[in-house]
Structures are given as C-alpha cells and as structure tokens.
Amino acid sequence: MTFLDMLQTAGQRNASMLCVGLDPDPARFPGGWRGDASKIADFCARIVEATADLAIAFKPQIAYFAAHRAEEQLERVVAHIRRVAPHVPIILDAKRGDIGSTAEQYAIEAFERYGADAVTLSPFMGFDSVQPYLKYPGKGAFLLCRTSNPGGDDLQNQRLADVPGQPLLYEHVAGLAQGPWNLNGQLGLVVGATYPAEIARVRALAPTVPLLVPGVGAQGGDALATVQAGWTQDGSLIVNSSRAILYASSGDDFADAARRVALDTRDQLQAARN
C-alpha cells in the first residue's frame, strides 16, 4: 500500500488521528534502564506494543537514535513496528534539506535503509531538494511549513514581496505543497499545534494534503483547537504527541501509563472531530 493508503487504513481501523512520536531519551528511561542507551530499542518496542491499536502513525525522531550511535536500534524498532502493527505507517522525522545529489542519499537512508513510509523535510532549498524523495512511488514527504517553535516567526511569518499576493512564507509553502510541487500526491505539511489560526490558514490553502501537527501534550498544543482548525473529510490530520506519552511514568508501569495517555489523547481528538 502507499503511504496515503496506510494512513487511511490505520485511521479507520484504530479510529485515530494520534501519531505516537518516538523520541527516546535514555536520561528519562524508567528504573534500571535510566541512562542506558542500549535499551533504546527495548523502550520503543514497549511503547509501540502499548499503543499499536491507538495510533494512526509512529514517528521516530532520528536525532534521538543517532546521538547515541543507535541507528541499528532504529532499524530494529522499524522492524518491530512492521511485526506488531503492519498497518500503521512510519514517518521518519529527519527534517532533511540539502541539494539534489545529497538529497538522493538522504532518500536512500529514509526509504531503503530504514524502510520509512514518509519523511519530514525542510523545503527552503527549493524543489530540487525535495524531488529525489518523490521518485519513490507511494512514499510521503512532509514539508516544514509553520512550526511550533517561537523562532519560526523569524522566517516563516515574513511576507514575500516579489510573489503575487505577497503571501507569508509559510502560506507560500502551503500553496506549493498543494499545487505545483505535489506531482504525485505525495506531499504533506508540518504545522505546529501551538498556532491553531495558522493551521486553519494552511488547511484553507492546502485542503487535501495531509497535515502533520506536532505540539499536542508536553508542548502545550490544544487538541480541540487543533482538530477544529485542521480536520476535513478530504485531508488527513495526523496529530503527534511524544513526551507526554513516552514519559507518562518513570516507573516499571511506563508502558501501561503510556497507553493510558495515548488512549485519552486519541479519544480527545476523535471527540473534537465528532
């Protein structure tokens, strides 16, 4: 199945818009695992098992693996997701953005080495830095559009005087993803949950592309406002929560606690939609 097919299947089967972010920080692991980077795959596996029937997607953040020389553990985590939840797509959160020849190598990394179904990208080097990822049929690519960090205003909220209509930069990115860059229907957008008005604006400009929305949970994004701003019948909404789920408990019950938080978040999102 294509990434979009998997997204639709997982969303319907698990009645979910919740993406479980896998940002494993050994310093926050429970009990005797605390500080032990060799337990990254084991920790993530327990989270995946606890939330496999609640998630529309899993989103491993590559930096949390690479910082601990745990790329091989990331491969194991992806393989475990395929066994435990083969219908749930995997979004590799890498935020790559480089010239075309280098992007080709990053695309190999994301789709061939790690076997991800989609990847996050920075679009600010232009279309030729995105195009290599679109050569993989059925794979997805999420472009950073309006991020949740305060510094996002430095660039994303600046007006483009030389573009017709003088859109803000993030509005221009949304239009490109909905239109000329989305050659095979593979593109989505990343929009932070801390800016619901901007989510609504992006959705108006890009009514059919999937939106990946980080920031619900520990970062303070509001689930109700996020869904009201971004959910439509025609465009998938993928709402990510990482730390609030992963570190719901520092004890041996961490997986059970993660499931409780994930279930509550999943249900809040569904209730907001309904």
Structure tokens that stand for 235 in this block: 């465009």
At 220 the pLDDT is 54
Kindly report the CA angle at 247 between 243 and 249, in degrees rounded to 5? 155
**Separate counts of helices (H) and strands (E) for the chain:** 12, 8
Catalytic residue among 59, 95, 135, 139: 95
pLDDT, tens only, 142-181: 999 998 888 988 888 889 998 899 999 999 999 999 999 9
Cβ neighbours of 154 (radius 10 Å): 9
Structure tokens that stand for 170 in this block: 């993030």
- Residue 143: C-alpha distances to residues 34, 55, 73, 102 (Å): 34, 21, 26, 17
Residue 180 has, within 13 A of its CA and on its CB side, a CA count of 6
CA 273 to chain centre: 19
The answer to whether residue 135 is catalytic is no
Q: State what percent of residues in the chain have pLDDT above 90.
A: 84
pLDDT, tens only, 4-33: 999 999 999 999 999 999 999 999 999 999
At 218 the pLDDT is 53
Give the H/E segment covering residue 82. helix 71-84
What whole-number distance in Å separates Cα of residue 175 and Cα of residue 171?
Answer: 6
CB distance 101 to 15 below 8 Å: no
Which of 3.10.450.350, 3.20.20.70, 3.40.50.2300, 1.10.10.10 is the CATH number of 3-273? Answer: 3.20.20.70
- Strand 18-22: give its sheet, edge to edge: 57-60, 18-22, 237-241, 211-213, 187-191, 140-146, 118-121, 91-96
187-191 and 211-213 beta bridge pairing: parallel
At 86 the pLDDT is 97
Residues of the chain with pLDDT under 50: none
